Structure 1
Amino acid sequence: MSGICERRVVVVTGAGRGLGRAHALAFAAEGARVVVNDLGVGLDGTPAADSPAGRIVHEIRAAGGEAVAHGGDIATSEGAASLVATALETYGRLDTLVNNAGFLRDRMLVNLGEDDWDAVVRVHLKGHFLTLKHSAAHWRAEAKAGRPPVARVVNTSSGAGLLGSVGQGNYSAAKAGIVALTLVAAAELARYGVQVNAIAPAARTRMTERTFAATMAAPENGFDTMAPGNVSPLVVWLGSAASEGVTGRVFEAEGGRITVMEGWRPGPTLDKAARWSAGEAGEAVRKLLTETTVPGVVYGA
């Protein structure tokens, strides 16, 4: 195989199903050697009867590509370190990290248990942090040894992390944290030749099948706008050397649409040059709000 990721070594977490599977297959189709990570758990994070990572590896190899499976828990330091080690021991290098692993435990806030909060934040946010940390340590060492990498990281946020989503306080908070982590990593790792971006995808997967149930009718004109594979071309490009100069960005991807998301930045302001009274502060806020753009609606509101 040949393509824009020819001979690059790409790690994809949560690659056994849905978006991760689509990403792994798309990278392989563009010539990448893929480390397919999947713990093989159910939608709620509990152990499943089988692990799909091996099946995806077989699928890639059957199409003429190169891939190896990794079944470690990337939300532990040991699992994240072994993921990086698998790439290095198998292929001798690591070029791209795609953080995709995650699951849901949806509850309204008053019903959301502490265990459900911890579990979702652990896999989504901590899982992103640990794989990024161990990959970045390798790339920093390479840069300091005079072998500057052309490294890429693609993190997975969500519209829930950008706007919020009713019944998903844990998931929304974790996905918002991933955006902030992306911005920090892009700034810190640029000196080592590492670019870090995030996507907020919308696609039909195990995690979103209830959310997008209304869109699951037969596709019109042969184009299934909610197919996971629609998101993967953007991820592959961001994970390739062709994306040189693009870092610290968040992209929304759905169907045939790509949007550059614009985050927090200063809007209208008033400066009294002295301390406000509570009443004055309230009046100032009311005035400022008349000059702002109305925020996007929280999903499910």
Structure 2
Amino acid sequence: MQALLDAIAAMPLPTDAARIFHGRGGMHPGCEQWVLDAYPPVFVLTSFAPATEDALAAVGAALQARWEQVAPPGEPLSWVFQHRGEALRVEGRSDTRLMAGAVPDPHVVTEAGARFRVHVLRGQNHGLFLDMAAGRRWARDFVAARQGSRYGLKVLNLFAYTCAFSVVALQAGAKQVVNVDMSHGAIGIGQQNHQLNGITTGAAFLPHDIFSSWGKINRSGPYDLVIVDPPSYQKGSFVATKDYARLMRRLNDLLAPGGHALLCLNAPELGLAFLQDQMRELAPELQFVERVANPAVFADVDEHRALKVLVYRAPDLPPAAAVAPGP
């Protein structure tokens, strides 16, 4: 685990929520089980395999030593350990321990000027997916570059979770964002995130199953940007291998002329071809634009296993037919 200890020894004082060490990408042989995140002022160490108490003590000592070097005098170190072994992951569970210090309640973190509520002591999802930081930056830049749009940009945020995409889109000047997620709890936190950022208008929240809500979704369209960020597998709601295609078939109807779709997938077992081949078959009108690069800290030995964030563009309206001159 030396690479993890080296990363701790070199890290600056975190200000925004961010990943510090990403062993899961395979770039640090022998450290594949380890991930270290900062949700200031709390660090979260995650292990995807059993961890010995000696290993945890070594990490704790490294965090304490670096904290004393970079933190304001007198501010205590706070860190959490979460074990996500294979058996626990299959059951959707994790074991979480507060190792030192305390976790604020409410716990609010920042990213690029936006504020978000997180919860690091319960569940595997902490309220803000750090690997999607580049996707959120892309969405912010996309909207900001089109602020002069005549009617204002409309955004559809599918599988919205806690609505981070919505916050950054509205901050960048979007006119309206429709957030859809079947989790009432996640949508509730999403509403709090908008309030945290002083956003009082422009957002709609639909705590519904997407696949049974197309009528409501279509009524607010068409959209200049459609964000699709589903779980790779969530029993009873979404299984990427069979359900992503159902979304792709809808894109052409959801998008305004020249509109863009941001398709996201975090499933190591499904490579780029899974999305690209199906898009060519099911939404051939949409043109592939680019793959959004993941944050550098999430580097992976195999880019096909890493998070995939792909941009597609709908065709523009055809030029108006020339009007023949009168006699």
Relative to total residues, which structure has the larger helix share, 1 or 2? 1
Q: TM-score, normalised by structure 1?
A: 0.42
Higher relative contact order (CA 8 A, sep 6+): 1
Name which one, 1 or 2, has greater alpha-carbon Rg: 2
- Give the structure with the higher percent strand: 2
